[in-house]
Structure 1
C-alpha cells in the first residue's frame, strides 16, 4: 500500500489522542441508529467497519483502521463487515469471507485492496480472481475456491446483506460502535479531506460513552 505506513499512522493517532478527547456531537460526529442492533460479541463493546474492496475511500482508510486495531482495548471487539447492498456486491464479500474461512484475513486483506486499487484488477470477476489467487504465495488456490463456494461463506454473505440493511449503511467506509452509533471518515472532514486521527477520537469517545452507560 503506497500510503502512510501503519506504524507512522499509529504514532499520529496516539499523538492526536494524547490530550483529552474532544466531546462528540450526534449528527455531527456520529449518527445514532434509530433501532439499536444487538452486538454479537458478548461482554465486549463491538466495533464494526462496513467496507468494500472496490471502495477507494476504504482503501485509503485501511492504514488508519489497522493502526487503531493495534491499540484498541482488550474489551473491545473489532470486525470487518463487507457491505452488500445488492447481488453485484456479493463477489467482493465472498473474497473476504473465503479469506476468513482460511484464516488469511490478516495476511491478505490489504493485498486484495492493493490488487484492486494499485494493479487495477477487477477481482469480482471470477476468472481474474482465480488467476490472482493462483499467483499468491500462501494461498492454496483449491482450498480458496472451495471456501469461496461453500455453504458457510454464502451464509455469511447473506448475514452481511442483512446487517447492511439493518445498520442502514449508505456509504463506505462506515464504522458502527456498540450497535448504536455510525461514524467514519465522512463525519470528520477537515479542509476537504478526512481527518483519520479525528475518526479515531470519535470511535474512542463512543466506546467510552457505551462503557459508561453499561457501567463497565
Structure 2
C-alpha cells in the first residue's frame, strides 16, 4: 500500500502540520481522473493537515507543465486554472507543450501577456521547478498519481486498487503522523 522513504524529506509545512503532497502530471489520464477525488478530499482534511500539489519532473514535457503550474500559482490563478488545465488537455486534446499555447490559455483567465511573460521564466518559478525536480528524485517517484505523507511515506503500488484506497491509506498515515506530533 505504501513504502517508507529511507531518509525522510523535509516538508514545506510548519512542524506542527502533517503535509500530504499529491504528485501529479497534467498529461497523465490517471491524474486527471484522480483530481476530483483530491479536490473533495482537500475540503474534508482535518485541522493540522495541509495538501500541497507537486508536479512531477521527469522530462522536458513534465517541466513545461510544472512551469505552467507554478506560473498559475505565482499569478494567483491556480485555484481556477488547475482543474481547467486538466480538462483542456484531456477533454479538448490540447497538449499545452508550447509557451504560446500556454500563454493563450492564461489569457482566457484574464492574465495579460506581459504578466505571463514576466512570470513564466521568473526566478521564483525557476526556484520551485528546481525544488520539484529534487523532490521527484528524493521521493523516488516512478509513477503518478501518488501521495507522499509528511515526507516519509509514498502511497502507491500493489494493494492500491483505486483512488478511494489511495486516500484511505493516506488517511491512515496522516493519523500515524498526527499521533507523533
TM-score w.r.t. length of structure 1? 0.78
Query: Structure 1 residue 86: deviation in Å?
Result: 3.0
- Contact kept, 8 Å, 1:173 with 1:185, in 2: the verdict is no
Q: Secondary structure of the equivalent of 2:141?
A: coil
What is the CA deviation profile of residues 4-44 of structure 1, one whole-angstrom value per residue up to 9, with x for unaligned ones? xxxxxxxxxxxxxxxxxxxxxxxxx1111122111221120
| d(CA) in 1 for partners of 2:71, 2:3 | 31
Q: Classify 1:186/1:104 alpha carbon distance in 2 versus 1 (closer, same or farther; 3 Å).
A: farther
1:197 aligns with 2:170: no
- Contact kept, 8 Å, 2:5 with 2:139, in 1: the verdict is yes
1:173 counterpart (145, 151, 165): 145
2:101 counterpart (118, 128, 140): 128
Q: Classify 1:102/1:187 alpha carbon distance in 2 versus 1 (closer, same or farther; 3 Å).
A: farther
| d(CA) in 2 for partners of 1:86, 1:31 | 24
Q: Flag the structure with larger Rg.
A: 1
Higher RCO (C-alpha under 8 Å, 6+ residues apart): 2
Query: Where do 1:38-53 residues align within 5 Å?
Result: 38-42=10-14, 43-53=16-26
Query: Structure 1 residue 48: deviation in Å?
Result: 0.2
Query: Structure 1 residue 127: deviation in Å?
Result: 2.3
CA RMSD in angstroms, aligned pairs only? 1.6
Q: How many residues align?
A: 180
Q: Classify 1:188/1:152 alpha carbon distance in 2 versus 1 (closer, same or farther; 3 Å).
A: same
| d(CA) in 1 for partners of 2:115, 2:55 | 21
